[in-house]
Amino acid sequence: MIIWRIIGWILFLAGLSVLARDALAWFDTKVWMPIAVGQLWYALDRSSLNLVQAVIQRYVASFLWDRIIIHILLCWAFAVLIGLGALILLVARQRGPRRV
């Protein structure tokens, strides 16, 4: 469970850093244009985005890419990262004292 909590915190903090980047860009340009998940992924590693698209369309199901994943890639990156991190932290939270 500790691994999931670490992953949750990493995603949550990454979302906060993307939100800070978007806020600084808004402050600089006076235009609110948060970066999308797909745009962020493309900027970080475009070859892996192309590979994932090819694998999902060819070997999993093309409708999955066209109807679901595209919509996720168009969402604001900070919202997806913070939401996913919070969800993982919620699921992986420690319960009360353990009985032996």
Q: Do 47 and 68 reside in the same domain of the chain?
A: yes
What are the tokens at 15?
A: 């979302």
* Cα 53 to Cα 64: distance, rounded to the nearest angstrom: 10
Flag whether 65 is in a domain.
yes
Entry pTM: 0.83
Flag whether 41 is in a domain.
yes
Q: What is the pLDDT of residue 53?
A: 93
Q: Do 1 and 27 reside in the same domain of the chain?
A: yes
Low-confidence ranges of the chain (pLDDT < 70): 96, 98-100
The amino acid at 14 = A
| Residue-range definition of the domain harbouring residue 49 | 36-75
Q: What is the pLDDT of residue 21?
A: 96
Flag whether 40 is in a domain.
yes
Q: Do 44 and 67 reside in the same domain of the chain?
A: yes
Q: What is the pLDDT of residue 1?
A: 79
Q: What is the pLDDT of residue 98?
A: 65
Q: Do 22 and 44 reside in the same domain of the chain?
A: no
> Where do we find the tokens 């919202």?
79
Flag whether 22 is in a domain.
yes
